[in-house]
Amino acid sequence: MKPKLAIYWAASCGGCDIAILDIEEKILNVADFFDIAFWPCAADFKYKDVEAMPDQSITLTLFNGAVRNSENYHLAKLLRQKSLVLCAFGSCAVEGGIPGLANFYDKESIIDYAFRKSPSTVNPEGITPQPEFQVPEGKLIIPEMFETVR
C-alpha cells in the first residue's frame, strides 16, 4: 500500500502548486510513489472525501498558503487530524507571504478598497460579500474573512 499525499492551497500566491507542477513529467514519479489523496488544485477532490477518511490516514500533507478565512482554518484543522505529518509548505504558509501583507490593514479597509474604491471595481451600489446569500439555485455560503492572516 502506497503512502498517501495531500496538498492544499489556502490563501496564497499559488507559487507552491506551480512549483510542484514545474517538475513536469517527474510528477508521474510522485504519483507512482504516493497515492494522491487530496489535491483540489490539480484534480476534483471534495472536502467530504477528506472528512470521511480515518484520522491519520494521510501520510503527508503539504499545506501551502496562509489561513485567511474560516474555510482555510477548517481545512488546516481537518488535514492536521487526518495526517501523520502536516508540513507548512512555502513562504505563505511559513511567513504569511503576499497574503500576509494584508495584516498592515484592517479587514474593513480591505473590503472597502476591493469592493468600493478599487479603480477596477464597478459597484455603484457598494455591495460587499455577505456570509450567506440566496440565489435561485440555493443558498451560497461564503467563508468568513478573518481580521488577520494567520
Tell me whether residue 146 is in a domain. no
Q: Select the more confidently predicted residue: 51 or 130.
A: 51
Spatial contact of 4 and 59, defined as CB atoms under 8 Å apart:
yes
For residue 74, what is the domain's CATH number?
3.40.50.700
Position 23 scores a pLDDT of 93
Mean pLDDT for 11-28 is: 91
Position 14 scores a pLDDT of 87
Tally the domains of the chain.
Answer: 1
Q: Can you state the percent helix, strand and coil of the chain, rounding each to 5? A: 40, 25, 35
pLDDT tens-place string over residues 38-72: 999 889 999 999 999 999 999 999 999 999 999 99
Name residue 138's beta-bridge partners.
135
Q: Residue 23: give the domain boundaries.
A: 4-97
pTM of the model: 0.89
Tell me whether residue 131 is in a domain. no
